[in-house]
Structure 1
Amino acid sequence: MKAQEIIRSIEAEQLKTNLPDIQIGDTVKVAVKIVEGGKERIQPYEGTVIAKGSSGLTKTITVRRIFQGVGVERVFLIHSPRIDSIQILRRSKVRRAKLYFLRDRVGKATRLKQRFDRPLT
């Protein structure tokens, strides 16, 4: 029992508190820290959240975007030190927990209806 308490206390120190309330269907901009040689820079990754997974320190979001006509998905550990910030740009109205059906759609068919009843922050 004592080991679990130690693990929880260590995880609690690692958890980020300044994260927005991210929902499925949100269009987000994730600022990722990239290390190239000795330099570090921040690269934005903008796309739609199609899935959320796990909980606690291992909480993840899957973000999908179209880059040069090809769908690209990235899974982000949101409490990772590599994630600088997450900004919500747009909220969408969805009726599913996972938006995997967007993988089969192309062009205008991938649009989601915008939602105005929740604030962006």
Structure 2
Amino acid sequence: MNFEIIKELEKEQLKAEVPQFATGDTVRVHNRIKEGTRERVQIFEGTVIKIQGGGARTTFTVRKISNG
């Protein structure tokens, strides 16, 4: 029964359009950072090296691309 409740909550939290990407793709991640009363967006670009899980609990690991 608890599993059914969790599944229902996950369905509500999923976005309608989730970008599709795979391991090896280069992605840009936009991260909101709150500093006191200010809020800014930090962009992180890198290569996806791992995708894990499914549904609303999917996580992915990105290795940063840096020059120099």
Q: If the TM-score is normalised by the length of the shorter chain, which range does it land in?
A: 0.7 to 0.9
Q: Which has the higher strand share?
A: 2
C-alpha displacement at 1:32, in angstroms? 0.7
2:50–2:61 CA contact under 8 A, matched in 1:
yes
2:32 paired residue number: 33
1:107 paired residue number: none
May I ask how many residue pairs the two structures share in their alignment?
Answer: 68
Unaligned runs of 5+ in 1: 70-121
C-alpha displacement at 1:68, in angstroms? 6.6
Equivalent runs, 1:54-73 vs 2, <5 Å: 54-67=53-66
Report the CA distance shift for 1:68/1:36 in structure 2 as closer, same or farther (over 3 A): farther
Q: Which amino acid letter does the alignment assign opposite residue 6 of structure 2?
A: I
1:7 paired residue number: 6
Unaligned runs of 5+ in 2: none
Could you tell me the TM-score, scaled by structure 1's length? 0.50
